[in-house]
C-alpha cells in the first residue's frame, strides 16, 4: 500500500489521529466529587481570585492551539478550514511526540483576518500558546503581529519561524560537514513568502 492510500486508511480506521486523554481516573463516587461537583468549585474560586492559577490548576499550562484558516496549506493551497484539519492533527501529533506538548487543532472557517484574530482572542484562556499554521500571506503577518500584541500568551507562526529554524539547522549541519564557516559562504533564498522572508 502506498503512503497516500495508507494516510486515508489509517484515518478511516482510527477516525482521526487525536483523542481526549485523562490524567485522573474516576474509580468511584468520591473520585467524581473531586473531579466535578462539589470539589471542582475550589479550583474555580482560586482561579477567580488569580487567573494565572489556571496554569497550575488546569491542563492549560501544557496546551497549545494549532490555528489555521486553511488558506495556504503546503503543496495544496487554499483548501479551506475542514480540509486543513488533517494537517493540524498531524502537527498536534508532532508537538506531543517530540515535545510532550498537548495540542488542539483549531481551524477557523474564515478568510477575514479580523474574525480569525477575534476568535483566537476569545479562546486564549484555554491555552498556554498559539501556533499559527498554513495561513496565506500577506495576511499571516498581520495576524501574527496583532495576536502577539493583543494576546496574553505566546504566539508562534510556524510557516515563518519554524521553517527558518529548520533551514538554519540544516545549513549549519551542512557547513559543519564540509568544514566551512557561515560567515564565509553565500546562501540564496529563492522566494519571499512567509517562509523565505524569515529564512533570510
Predicted confidence (pLDDT) per residue in 141-183, tens digit: 999 999 999 999 999 999 888 888 888 899 999 999 999 998 8
Mean pLDDT of the chain: 94
> Measured between alpha carbons, how far is residue 183 from residues 5, 75, 166, 170, 171 in Å?
45, 33, 19, 15, 12
Share of the chain above pLDDT 90, in %: 82
Catalytic residue list: 36, 91
This prediction's pTM: 0.88
d(CA 106, CA 102): 13
Q: Could you tell me which CATH number the domain at 3-161 has?
A: 3.40.50.10380
Q: What are phi and psi of 89, to 5 degrees?
A: -65, -45
Residue 200: pLDDT band with limits 50, 70, 90:
low
Residue 180, number of CB atoms within 10 A of its CB: 11
The residues pairing with 64 across neighbouring beta strands, listed in sequence order, are 103, 129
Task: Tell me which of 31-40, 42-51, 63-72, 163-172 is least confident.
Answer: 163-172
> In terms of DSSP bridges, do strands 102-107 and 129-132 run parallel, antiparallel, or are they unpaired?
unpaired
The per-residue pLDDT for 163 is: 85
d(CA 143, CA 136): 10
**DSSP category for residue 129:** E
Q: Closest Cα to residue 116, out of 164, 166, 151?
A: 151
Domain assignments of the chain as residue spans, ordered by start: 3-161, 162-199
Q: Please give, one letter per residue, the 3-state secondary structure of 27-84.
A: CCHHHHHHHCCCCCHHHHHHHHHCHHHHHHHCHHHHEEEEEECCCCECCCECCCHHHH
Task: Tell me which of 34-48, 73-87, 153-167, 182-196 is least confident.
Answer: 182-196
Amino acid at each position: 500500500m502506498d503512503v497516500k492510500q495508507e494516510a486515508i486508511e489509517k484515518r478511516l480506521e482510527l477516525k482521526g489521529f487525536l483523542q481526549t486523554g485523562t490524567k485522573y481516573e474516576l474509580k468511584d463516587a468520591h473520585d467524581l466529587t473531586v473531579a466535578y461537583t462539589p470539589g471542582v468549585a475550589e479550583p474555580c474560586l482560586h482561579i477567580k481570585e488569580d487567573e494565572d492559577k489556571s496554569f497550575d490548576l488546569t491542563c492549560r499550562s501544557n496546551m497549545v492551539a494549532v490555528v489555521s484558516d486553511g488558506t495556504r496549506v503546503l503543496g495544496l493551497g487554499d483548501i479551506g478550514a475542514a480540509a486543513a484539519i488533517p494537517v493540524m492533527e498531524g502537527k498536534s501529533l508532532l508537538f506531543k511526540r517530540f515535545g510532550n506538548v498537548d495540542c488542539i487543532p483549531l481551524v477557523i472557517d474564515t478568510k477575514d483576518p479580523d474574525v480569525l484574530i477575534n476568535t483566537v482572542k476569545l479562546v486564549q484562556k484555554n491555552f498556554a500558546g498559539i501556533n499559527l499554521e498554513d495561513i496565506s500571506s500577506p495576511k499571516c503577518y498581520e495576524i501574527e503581529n496583532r495576536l502577539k500584541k493583543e494576546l496574553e500568551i505566546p504566539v508562534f507562526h510556524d510557516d515563518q519561524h519554524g521553517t527558518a529554524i529548520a533551514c538554519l539547522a540544516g545549513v549549519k549541519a551542512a557547513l559543519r560537514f564540509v568544514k566551512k564557516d557561515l560567515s564565509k559562504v553565500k546562501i540564496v533564498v529563492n522566494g519571499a513568502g512567509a517562509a523565505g522572508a524569515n529564512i533570510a
